[in-house]
Amino acid sequence: MARRRQLYEGKAKILFEGPEPGTLVQYFKDDATAGNGAKKGIITGKGVLNNRISEYLMQRLAEIGIPTHFVRRLNMREQLIREVEIIPIEVVIRNVAAGSISTRLGIEEGTRLPRSIIEYYLKNDALNDPIVSEEHITCFGWAGTADLDDMVALSLRINDFLCGLFLGVGITLVDFKLEFGRLWENDEMRIILADEISPDNCRLWDTRTNEKLDKDRFRRDLGKVEEAYQEVAKRLGILPEAGVRDLKGPEAVQ
Ligand code: TMP
């Protein structure tokens, strides 16, 4: 079979031309980076697990009416997605203080926030993805006010839904990052969820022990990185024990 044309290679994924116009193939790599590429490594099997975890979460979100770019999983490392114009803003939603909000504002890691907080970061590696305000985003035209309203409304719904989904399997959704894109259909533009949702861009803590089950194990050299990604998939009931026919649904945790 002819090799697909590569359109873009990022730190954790590659985008190829899709089989029909308006589609792309998203390939998940095992490569891991932290600190904007300052730390590099391989997390064996990460691409396979993130492909599967992101598929599962995007499907559950679609079921509650969240529009996403996900079409279907093609194989272990690839999924078919809809081509969108990516909005150059990373939306971070926080429920518990951790990572940069703790260092920036001196709030102890693990502090439950009185309400969920949304932050915006400009997608710009050369500038180290700086935090920006709504004013910056609309002033410089990265997104319009109506786009931002849609992104916030979708982010809050996604946060509520995923908090409950993860809590059901004994995981606290501490924080996570989303990306959105513009999709044109018959001259109408819609904002839809893009990128991926996986332990690469979520902080996931075991609800009982607060053990980290996400990329912080890599960022902070905590060890058992592969095991953490596997544990998330296992709790969601999507880690095949004996092949793809062995997939179970999520297991409720008391
Ligand atoms: P932070 O505490 O480093 O700002 O990260 C907040 C959340 O967003 C955390 O779950 C990791 C995720 N994130 C990304 O996925 N990509 C990024 O470039 C950044 C800065 C954060």
The pLDDT value given to residue 247: 45
Which of 92, 124, 132, 200 gets mutated to test ligand 1 (max ligand atoms within 8 A of its CB)? 92
The pLDDT value given to residue 240: 61
The pLDDT value given to residue 251: 57
CA distance 232 to 17: 30
Domains along the sequence of the chain with CATH: 4-83+225-247 (3.30.200.20), 85-206 (3.30.470.20)
Q: Which residues of the chain have pLDDT under 70?
A: 1-2, 240-254
The pLDDT value given to residue 4: 87
CA distance 47 to 58: 16
Euclidean distance between the first and final Cα of the chain, in Å? 49
The pLDDT value given to residue 245: 43
DSSP 179-235: EEEEEEETTEEEEEEES--STTSEEEEETTT--B-STHHHHTT-S-HHHHHHHHHHH
For 109-141, what is each residue's pLDDT tens digit?
Answer: 999 999 999 999 999 999 999 999 999 999 999
Atom of ligand 1 nearest to the CA of 214: 10
For 95-108, what is each residue's pLDDT tens digit?
Answer: 999 999 999 999 99
CA distance 173 to 198: 11
| Ligand 1 site, residue 120, Cβ cutoff 6 A | no
The pLDDT value given to residue 241: 53
Write out the E strands in 63-144: 70-73, 78-82, 85-86, 89-96, 112-122, 131-132
| Ligand 1 site, residue 99, Cβ cutoff 6 A | yes
Question: Residue 203's closest CA among 172, 181, 231?
Answer: 172
Q: Could you tell me if 162 and 154 are in contact, meaning their C-beta atoms sit under 8 angstroms apart? A: no
Quick count: other Cβ atoms within 10 Å of Cβ 153? 11
